[in-house]
Amino acid sequence: MAEQYRKKRDFSRTPEPAGGRRKPGKRPIFVIQKHDASRLHYDFRIEVDGVLKSWAVPKGPSTDPREKRLALPTEDHPLDYADFEGVIPEDQYGGGTVLVWDTGPYDNLTEKDGKTLPAGKAIEQGHILMRLHGKKLKGGYALQRTGKGKSARWLLVKTKDDAADARRNPVSTEPKSVLSGRTLSQIAHEEDNGADSQ
């Protein structure tokens, strides 16, 4: 459910989708949105049981398996959010500019007792292993919860495979949207000029 998501937003004020249009496809997707809110961060979202499970990653994902990136759980988002780019008004929740930094299908590779553990269960249990098929990010990534209760933290880590690369730094070298080719400032300016207004 994306109930919390809807409660936090006034859809007469924000261009964000209310949800309910997009249906799950054959393969689940992931999306990473670069979000220039009060603090710049990357929202890492994976489709699980008809919603986008979401974490805010302040430093963004790394392709270096030695880099553990803090990931803060946020509310489930509707599937419609996966292709959202635009400017959220400053007086609305999450105000700031959003672009789709990477997206594509993903496979849930989490196993328990030799069997695939469904993604929802895996997240509940605090560990999910994924293979991403994005334009910028490929191969294995793990989300791992450490600690308990209020001190619980999630970490996003690249697993060691052919796509691991300690020298690549796509967060800084590949800043543009994979959907529109735009930068955050281009999106912000276009919306200022009314190019995207309806």
Residue 35 or 53: the one with the smaller Cβ distance to Mn ion is: 35
**Chain residue at closest Cβ approach to Mn ion:** 35
Q: How does DSSP classify residue 136?
A: S
In the complex with Mn ion, which residue's Cβ is closer, 43 or 47? 43
Binding footprint of Mn ion on the chain (CB under 5 A): 35, 43
Least distance from C-beta 74 to Mn ion, angstroms?
7
Question: In the bound complex, what is the minimum distance in angstroms from residue 121's beta carbon to Mn ion?
Answer: 26
Shortest Cβ 125–Mn ion spacing (Å): 25
Q: In terms of CB distance, is 16 or 43 closer to Mn ion?
A: 43
Q: How far is the CB of 43 from Mn ion (least distance, A)?
A: 4
| CA–CA dist 90, 68 (Å, integer) | 31
CB of 56 to Mn ion, least distance (A): 5
DSSP-derived letter for residue 125 is T
Q: Distance (Å, rounded) from C-alpha 72 to C-alpha 57?
A: 6
35 or 136, CB closer to Mn ion? Answer: 35
Estimate to the nearest angstrom the gap between the alpha carbon of 182 and the chain centroid.
18
Nearer to Mn ion, 98 or 132 (CB): 98
* Element housing 101 (H / E): strand 96-108
Question: Buried b / exposed e across 70-106, counting CB within 10 Å, b at 16+?
Answer: ebeebbbbbbbbbebbebbeeebbbebbbbbbbbbeb
